[in-house]
Amino acid sequence: MVLCLIYLIALFSIKIPPNKAKVIARIYILVTLVKVVILF
């Protein structure tokens, strides 16, 4: 689970050039992390 999240974060960080996309990606990652914390 954690490795999958790290992999997704790496993909997002690689694929995103502009600042707005980085903010969106960070928000998405934070939401997924919160969901994981709630589930576990």
* DSSP classification of residue 18: S
Torsion of Cα atoms, 26 then 29 then 30 then 31, to 10°: 120
* DSSP classification of residue 17: -
- One-letter amino acid identity for 10? A
pLDDT over 70 (residue 9): yes
Q: Could you tell me the end-to-end alpha-carbon distance of the chain, in angstroms, rounded to an integer?
A: 11
What is the pLDDT, as a whole number, of residue 29?
83
Q: With cut-offs at 50, 70 and 90, classify the pLDDT of residue 6.
A: confident
What is the pLDDT, as a whole number, of residue 34?
85
Greatest alpha-carbon pair distance for the chain in Å reads 33
pLDDT, tens digit, 9 for 90 and up, residues 11-37 = 776 665 667 777 777 888 888 888 888
What is the pLDDT, as a whole number, of residue 17?
62
pTM greater than 0.85: no
E strand or H helix that includes residue 26: helix 19-39
Per domain, the residue ranges of the chain are 2-39
